[in-house]
C-alpha cells in the first residue's frame, strides 16, 4: 500500500504558498551535486542532482503519447511504483544568518517528478506533487551550522501522474535544482511588477506590489531613486519591451535586509477588436512548441542548453515559444526576457489519457481534483508573473473541458488581469481570450481567418469565440521528413489579421542518446527500452535532431517566417522589400548581392537599404547591378540578394542572413546545359571504367516507391504508406513488351505493374549515343489512362540505377544545398553544390525517404579520383512543356542502400551499405504534407499518374 499522500487528491502539504522567482542578494546554497541514492530499498549508491534516475542506470525510460502507462483508476497507481530515496548532508556557509538573527530558511525544489516527501535532520517538512512546479519548505529552525541531512523520497507514480500525461518520456527524480535559501527578517518574499506601456503616448506606468514593509524601489535610468514601489509611477517616455527589441531597465527593490534585482520590461498585452496586441500593435507569432530536452540528460537542462535553444530560435526567426506543456526551468524565461521571445507559459497539466475512455472521470471536471488543479495554475502564475516575455497564461494541454479548468481561468484572471488566457482543449473557448486550435487544415484556418468557421457547440458562446483572435497552438507536425505545406500556412497568416500565427509542433526530437557495441551513437525512441506499451517514434517530431542540429524542417521554417520579404519584380529590374517585423525598422540590416554564372560567383556588391518601418515596403531598382554579357548557350546567370545583420546582435554576428531571394537574370534561355564540364582532355580513364558505368546506366528502370516518411505512415488506416503498399507500389514487376533498335536508337517498351493488380504503367525508354555518352528519352503513361488509378497517387516517379559504390562524391547544379520536396522547398536555392554522398543523407530518427535534391540541371557522381558519371538534362526535340512532369530538370537522391532497406530499418545506424550506389533520378514526388498529425499534402502537391517525360544524358567523367 502506498503512503496516503502519494495517491490522495491534494497537491501536497507543508510547502509555503507559491511566489515569484527572484534575483536576491540573500544567501543561497545550492544543494545540486552528488546525492546518495537507492531505488526501491536497494543498496545505496550515488546519483547526480538534478537528473532522472532512469538515465543513470536505474530502471528504464518509457514513452507513451496519450495512453497512461498504468490502469486508469484515479487516484490510484499500481503497486509497482519505483521509489527513489535521496539523501545528502551539508554544512551551512560561515556567513549564513542564524535563526537567532530572525532569519528563516527555505528549501526549494524547482522540479521533482512526480511526487516527493522531504525531511531535514529527521523532521518531516511535507510532501508535494506537480513535477514541473516549484515547491518550497520552511526549514529555518531545523538547521545547524554543520552536519545537516536532507532526505527526499521520490515516487515515480502518484495521483499527480494523472495530471501529467504529456506526450513525452516518463522520467523520474529530482531533475531540477535544489537550493537552500536564507530568508532574512522582513524578507522580500514576493513582489509583482506591473510595467505597462501606453503606445499612444509612449508613457510607462510602473507599479510594484510587495509584501514587506518599508521596501524602496530604484530604477536609476528612469530617475526613480528609493521610491515607494507601489507608486503608481508614471514615466513620460519609456522604450517598450518586445521580442524584437527586448529593452529592459535595471532596477532594485530594497528591503531592510534584502535587495532584489529586477529587470523591468514595459509592455502591455491586450485582446481587443478581435486582435491580440502587444504595446498596441498586433503581433504575428512565429512560434515553436518547446519541450525541455537533452539527449543525455532528458528534462534536466543546464543553462547552456537553454541558451542554445534561444539562440537557435532567434537565428531561425522564431519569435514565440509555447512552453509545452509545463512551465520551463525558470532560467529559460530569463533568457526569453533577455533575448526577446514571446512566451505562452503553460501550466503543468494534461489529462489526455482520459480521452481514450470518452473523458469519463476526467479530473478537469471532478470537484475532488479542484484544489490540485488550482494549485498548479497558482504555482505557474506566481513563479513566472514578473517576466515581460510571458504574454499569455495557458491552462494546460489536452485536458478536455470542465469546471476546474474554468475555475483556473477565473483564478488567473483575478490574479493577473493583465495577461490573456489560452487553452485549446475547450473548443468553444468559453473562458479563454484567444481562440486556439491544433493541426487545423489550411482550409479551416482560412475559414477562421474570415471569421466564417463552424459555430460553437454551445451556440451561446459563438459570439464570444467569433470575436477572438486566433492562434494555431500546434501545427505543422515536424515528425521525420517534413513538414510540408508551411508556406501555404504562412500565406494564410499573412492574409488574415485574425490569424496571428502559430507554433510548430515541436522544437526538438526527444531521442535518447545510446551507443551500440561498435561505438556508434544512435537515438532511442519509444519501444527501444522494451516498454510493453509505447508510441514508437512519435516522440521524435522536432525541428532539431536530438543533438540540436537543425533539421531541413527548421531551415524551411526559417525561410518561410523570415521577417523581411524580398521579391523580384518588373522582370528582374527591381526588388520589392517589405518589412514584416512588428515593431523593428530595417535599420539593422544591410543588403548585398552576388551574381553567379552557372553557380560560380562573377560579381558581388551591396545595395542601399532604406530603414523601412514595420509594414512598409519599397521597390529598389536593380540597375546598380551589372549585367554581364550572355554566357554560352544554356548557361544560367543568377542573382542572389541577401539581407544580413549590419552589426552584431546579442543572438548572432554581423553578416547573419535574415532573408534572401534569387532571380534569374537571363531568364527565357533554355535551362538545359550543353556545356558539359565532363573533361575529355584526359584520354586515359581511371576507375571506374566509363563503359561499365554506361552499361549500368542502361539498366535504369522505372521506379515509383519511396521509403515511407512518418507523414506517409500517418493517418492510421488511411495512411498513404498503407494505401501504396496495398496497391503494391513497393513491388512493381517489369515486363518487356518489345525492344527494337533502328537508326541507332534502341527502344524498349515495358509494362511496370504489381502482382495481383491490373494497374500498370507503360514505360518507353529510347536510348541512343550522343556527345560521347548515352541519351535516354523516357516516356511514362498509365496503362488504360489516368482514370484507372482513381485517387491513387504515386510516391514518386523516376528511375533507379545501381552504380558502383566507389562513387562517393556528388556535385550538382540545381536547388540545394539541403534536401527539398515539392511542398517544402522554400529554403533551397539555385547553385552549384558539392558534398560527399554521405552528407546527402538526413538522419531522421526512423529511416525514411530523405535527401532529395530538386530542380537539378546536372549532377556528377565521382570516385575519389574524380572519375565517374555525369547526368544532365537535355532539350527534348518537340518536348511538351508546361506539364508539371515535363520539366527540363530532374530530382535526385543517392544512397548506399535500397529504399526497401531504408523502410525496414528502425534506426539510421542499422543501415549497412550494400556495395552499390543507388541513384534515383526523378521527375516528381508526392508532397510531404504533415499527416503524421494533421492534414496530408495539399491537392496541388499530390502526384497523380499521368503522361510524363524525362530526357537525360549520361556522360563519363574522367579523372582530372
Q: Which residues are catalytic?
A: 398, 474
Assess contact for 485 and 935: CB atoms under 8 A. Answer: yes
Contact (Cβ atoms closer than 8 angstroms) between residue 728 and residue 908: no
Q: Name the residue with cell 491552462.
A: 395
Pick one of 392, 438, 590, 807: the residue that binds ligand IPT (CB under 6 A). 438
- C-alpha cell at position 251: 532596477
**Is residue 933 within the footprint of ligand IPT (CB under 6 A)?**
yes
Contact assessment for residue 879 and residue 886, using Cβ atoms and an 8 Å cutoff: yes
- Minimum Å gap between C-beta 346 and ligand IPT is 10
Query: What's the rounded Cα separation, in Å, for the pair 621 and 623?
Result: 6
Residue 640 binds to ligand IPT (criterion: CB under 6 A): no
Query: Contacts with ligand IPT in 513-552 (CB under 6 A)?
Result: 538, 541
State the nearest-atom distance from the C-beta of 426 to ligand IPT, in Å.
14
Measured from the CB of residue 827, what is the shortest distance to ligand IPT in angstroms? 23
Q: Is 471 in the site for ligand IPT (CB under 6 A)?
A: no
| Cβ closest to ligand IPT, residue 539 vs residue 763 | 539
User: Considering only residues 116, 162, 326, 505, which one is a binding residue for ligand IPT as defined by CB under 6 A?
Assistant: 505
For ligand IPT, the closer of residues 443 and 613 by Cβ is: 443
Considering the complex, state which of residue 196 and residue 425 has its C-beta at the smaller distance from ligand IPT.
Answer: 425
Assess contact for 310 and 339: CB atoms under 8 A.
Answer: yes
DSSP helix/strand/coil, 636:
coil
Length of the chain: 960
Least Cβ distance, residue 411 to ligand IPT (angstroms)? 23
Q: Which of 136, 474, 509, 636 binds ligand IPT (CB under 6 A)?
A: 474
CB atoms within 10 A of CB 270: 16
Angle at CA of residue 878, ends 876 and 884, nearest 5° = 70
Q: And the C-alpha cell for 912?
A: 549497412
- 500 is a site residue for ligand IPT (CB under 6 A): no
Residues of span 168-197 touching ligand IPT by CB under 6 A? none
Q: Which residue of this chain has its Cβ atom nearest to ligand IPT in the complex?
A: 167
Cβ of residue 711: shortest distance to ligand IPT, in angstroms?
A: 12
955: CB partners within 8 A, 6+ apart: 676, 678, 771, 772, 773, 774, 869, 870, 872
For the purposes of burial, counting CB atoms within 10 Å of the CB of 259, is it exposed (0-12), middle (13-18) or buried (19 or more)? middle
Closest approach, Cβ 474 to ligand IPT, in A, equals: 6
Least separation in angstroms between residue 596's CB and ligand IPT is 40
On whether the CB atoms of residues 901 and 783 are closer than 8 A, the answer is no
Strand order in 23-24's β-sheet? Answer: 23-24, 259-264, 249-254, 216-219, 224-227
Q: How far apart are the first and last CA of the chain?
A: 77
Binding mask 298-337 for ligand IPT (x = CB under 6 A): ---------------------------x------------
Handedness of CA 771, 774, 779, 780 (dihedral sign): negative
State how far the Cα of 952 lies from the Cα of 798, in Å rounded to an integer. Answer: 12
Nearer to ligand IPT, 317 or 437 (CB): 437
Q: Name which of 309 and 350 has its Cβ closer to ligand IPT.
A: 350
Of 359 and 439, nearer to ligand IPT (C-beta) is 439
What whole-number distance in Å separates Cα of residue 952 and Cα of residue 22? Answer: 67
Least CB distance from residue 424 to ligand IPT, whole Å?
8
Quick check: 148 binds ligand IPT (CB under 6 A)? no
926 backbone dihedrals φ, ψ, rounded to 5°: -70, 150
Which residues, 39 to 78, sit near ligand IPT by CB under 6 A?
A: 65
- Bridge pairing between strands 574-579 and 564-569: antiparallel
Residue 167 or 337: the one with the smaller Cβ distance to ligand IPT is: 167
Considering the complex, state which of residue 187 and residue 438 has its C-beta at the smaller distance from ligand IPT.
438
Query: Does 476 interact with ligand IPT (rule: CB under 6 A)?
Result: no
CB of 720 to ligand IPT, least distance (A): 18
Query: Residue 398 interacts with ligand IPT (CB under 6 A)?
Result: yes
Site string for ligand IPT, 345-384 (x = CB under 6 A): ----------------------------------------
- Phi and psi at residue 254, to the nearest 5°: -115, 120
For residues 345 and 416, the answer to whether their CB atoms sit within 8 Å is no
CA distance 704 to 237: 65
- For position 824 contacting ligand IPT by CB under 6 A, the verdict is no
Number of residues that bind ligand IPT (CB under 6 A): 13
Three-class secondary structure of residue 470 per DSSP: strand
**Closer residue to ligand IPT (CB): 119 or 709:** 709
Q: Which residues bind ligand IPT (CB under 6 A)?
A: 65, 167, 325, 397-398, 438-439, 474, 477, 505, 538, 541, 933
Amino acid at each position: 500500500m502506498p503512503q496516503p499522500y502519494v495517491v490522495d487528491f491534494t497537491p501536497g502539504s507543508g510547502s509555503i504558498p507559491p511566489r515569484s522567482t527572484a534575483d536576491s542578494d540573500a544567501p543561497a546554497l545550492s544543494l545540486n551535486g552528488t546525492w546518495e541514492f537507492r531505488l526501491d530499498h536497494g543498496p545505496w549508491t550515488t546519483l547526480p542532482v538534478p537528473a532522472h534516475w532512469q538515465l543513470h542506470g536505474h530502471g528504464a525510460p518509457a514513452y507513451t503519447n496519450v495512453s497512461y502507462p498504468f490502469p486508469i483508476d484515479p487516484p490510484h497507481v499500481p503497486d509497482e511504483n519505483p521509489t527513489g530515496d535521496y539523501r545528502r548532508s551539508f554544512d551551512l556557509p560561515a556567513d549564513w544568518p542564524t535563526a537567532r538573527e530572525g532569519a528563516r530558511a527555505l528549501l526549494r525544489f524547482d522540479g521533482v517528478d512526480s511526487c516527493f516527501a522531504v525531511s531535514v535532520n529527521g523532521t518531516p517538512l511535507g510532501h508535494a506533487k506537480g513535477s514541473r512546479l516549484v515547491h518550497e519548505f520552511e526549514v529555518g529552525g531545523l538547521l545547524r551550522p554543520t552536519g545537516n541531512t536532507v532526505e527526499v523520497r521520490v515516487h515515480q507514480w502518484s495521483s499527480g501522474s494523472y495530471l501529467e500525461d504529456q506526450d513525452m518520456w516518463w522520467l523520474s527524480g529530482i531533475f531540477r535544482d535544489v537550493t537552500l535559501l536564507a530568508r532574512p527578517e522582513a524578507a522580500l518574499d514576493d513582489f509583482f511588477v506591473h510595467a505597462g506601456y501606453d503606445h499612444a503616448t509612449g508613457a510607462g506606468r510602473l507599479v510594484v506590489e510587495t509584501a514587506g514593509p518599508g521596501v524602496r524601489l530604484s530604477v536609476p535610468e528612469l530617475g526613480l531613486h528609493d521610491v515607494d514601489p507601489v507608486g503608481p509611477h508614471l514615466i513620460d517616455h519609456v522604450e517598450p519591451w518586445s521580442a524584437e527589441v527586448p529593452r529592459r531597465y535595471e532596477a532594485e527593490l530594497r528591503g531592510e535586509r534584502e535587495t532584489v534585482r529586477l529587470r523591468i520590461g514595459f509592455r502591455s498585452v491586450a485582446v481587443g477588436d478581435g486582435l491580440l496586441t502587444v504595446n498596441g500593435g498586433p503581433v504575428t507569432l512565429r512560434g515553436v512548441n518547446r519541450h525541455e530536452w537533452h539527449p543525455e540528460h532528458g528534462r534536466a537542462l543546464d543553462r547552456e542548453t537553454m541558451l542554445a535553444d534561444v539562440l537557435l530560435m532567434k537565428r531561425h526567426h522564431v519569435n514565440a515559444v509555447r512552453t509545452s506543456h509545463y512551465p520551463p526551468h525558470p532560467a529559460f524565461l530569463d533568457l526569453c526576457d533577455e533575448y526577446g521571445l514571446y512566451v505562452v507559459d503553460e501550466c503543468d497539466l494534461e489529462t489526455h489519457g482520459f480521452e481514450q475512455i470518452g473523458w469519463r472521470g476526467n479530473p478537469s471536471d471532478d470537484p475532488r481534483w479542484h484544489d490540485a488543479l488550482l494549485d498548479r495554475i497558482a504555482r505557474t502564475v506566481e513563479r513566472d508573473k514578473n517576466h515581460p516575455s510571458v504574454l499569455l497564461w495557458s491552462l494546460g494541454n489536452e485536458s478536455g473541458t470542465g469546471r476546474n479548468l474554468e475555475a483556473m481561468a477565473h483564478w488567473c484572471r483575478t490574479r493577473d488581469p493583465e495577461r490573456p488566457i489560452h487553452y485549446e482543449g475547450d473548443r468553444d473557448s468559453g473562458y479563454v481570450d484567444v481562440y486556439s486550435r491544433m493541426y487545423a487544415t489550411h482550409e479551416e484556418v482560412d475559414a477562421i481567418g474570415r471569421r466564417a468557421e463552424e459555430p460553437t457547440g454551445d451556440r451561446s458562446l459563438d459570439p464570444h469565440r467569433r470575436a477572438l483572435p486566433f492562434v494555431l497552438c500546434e501545427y505543422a507536425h515536424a515528425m521525420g521528413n517534413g513538414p510540408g505545406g508551411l508556406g501555404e500556412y504562412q500565406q494564410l497568416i499573412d492574409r488574415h489579421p485574425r490569424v496571428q500565427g502559430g507554433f510548430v509542433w515541436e522544437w526538438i526530437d526527444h531521442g535518447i542518446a545510446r551507443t551500440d557495441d561498435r561505438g556508434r551513437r544512435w537515438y532511442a525512441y519509444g519501444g527501444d527500452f522494451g516498454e510493453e506499451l509505447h508510441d514508437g517514434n512519435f516522440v521524435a517530431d522536432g525541428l532539431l535532431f536530438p543533438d540540436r542540429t537543425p533539421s531541413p524542417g527548421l531551415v524551411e521554417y526559417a525561410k518561410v517566417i523570415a521577417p523581411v520579404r524580398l521579391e523580384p519584380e518588373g522582370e528582374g529590374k527591381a526588388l520589392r522589400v517589405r518589412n514584416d517585423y512588428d515593431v523593428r525598422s530595417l535599420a539593422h540590416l544591410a543588403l548585398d548581392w552576388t551574381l553567379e554564372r552557372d553557380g560560380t560567383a562573377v560579381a558581388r556588391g551591396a545595395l542601399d537599404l532604406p530603414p523601412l518601418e514595420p509594414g512598409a515596403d519599397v521597390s529598389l531598382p536593380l540597375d546598380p547591378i551589372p549585367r554581364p554579357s550572355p554566357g554560352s548557350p544554356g548557361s544560367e546567370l543568377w542573382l542572389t540578394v541577401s539581407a544580413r545583420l549590419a552589426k552584431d546582435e546579442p543572438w548572432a554576428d554581423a553578416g547573419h542572413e535574415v532573408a534572401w531571394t534569387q532571380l534569374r537574370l537571363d531568364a527565357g534561355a533554355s535551362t538545359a546545359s550543353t556545356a558539359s564540364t565532363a573533361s575529355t582532355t584526359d584520354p586515359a580513364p581511371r576507375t571506374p571504367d566509363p563503359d561499365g558505368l554506361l552499361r549500368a546506366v542502361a539498366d535504369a528502370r522505372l521506379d515509383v516507391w519511396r521509403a515511407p516518411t512518418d507523414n506517409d505512415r500517418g493517418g492510421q488506416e488511411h495512411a498513404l504508406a498503407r494505401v501504396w503498399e496495398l496497391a503494391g507500389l513497393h513491388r512493381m514487376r517489369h515486363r518487356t513488351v518489345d525492344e527494337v533498335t533502328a537508326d541507332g536508337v534502341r527502344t524498349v517498351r515495358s509494362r511496370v505493374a504489381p502482382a495481383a493488380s491490373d494497374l500498370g504503367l507503360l514505360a518507353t525508354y529510347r536510348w541512343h549515343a550522343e556527345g560521347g555518352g548515352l541519351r535516354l528519352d523516357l516516356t511514362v503513361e498509365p496503362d488504360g489512362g489516368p482514370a484507372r488509378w482513381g485517387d491513387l497517387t504515386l510516391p514518386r516517379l523516376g528511375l533507379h540505377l545501381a552504380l558502383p559504390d566507389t562513387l562517393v562524391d556528388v556535385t550538382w547544379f540545381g536547388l540545394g544545398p539541403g534536401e527539398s520536396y515539392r511542398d517544402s522547398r522554400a529554403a533551397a536555392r539555385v547553385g552549384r553544390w558539392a558534398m560527399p554522398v554521405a552528407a546527402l543523407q538526413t538522419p531522421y530518427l526512423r529511416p525514411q525517404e530523405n535527401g532529395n535534391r530538386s530542380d537539378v540541371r546536372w549532377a556528377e557522381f565521382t570516385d575519389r579520383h574524380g572519375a565517374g558519371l555525369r547526368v544532365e538534362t537535355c532539350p527534348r526535340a518537340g518536348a511538351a512543356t508546361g506539364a508539371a512532369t515535363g520539366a527540363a530538370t530532374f530530382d535526385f537522391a543517392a544512397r548506399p542502400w535500397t529504399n526497401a532497406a531504408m523502410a525496414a530499418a528502425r534506426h539510421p545506424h542499422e543501415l549497412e551499405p550494400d556495395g552499390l550506389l543507388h541513384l534515383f533520378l526523378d521527375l516528381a514526388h508526392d508532397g510531404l504534407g504533415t499527416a503524421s498529425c494533421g492534414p496530408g499534402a495539399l491537392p496541388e502537391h499530390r502526384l497523380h499518374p499521368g503522361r510524363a517525360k524525362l530526357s537525360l544524358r549520361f556522360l563519363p567523367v574522367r579523372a582530372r
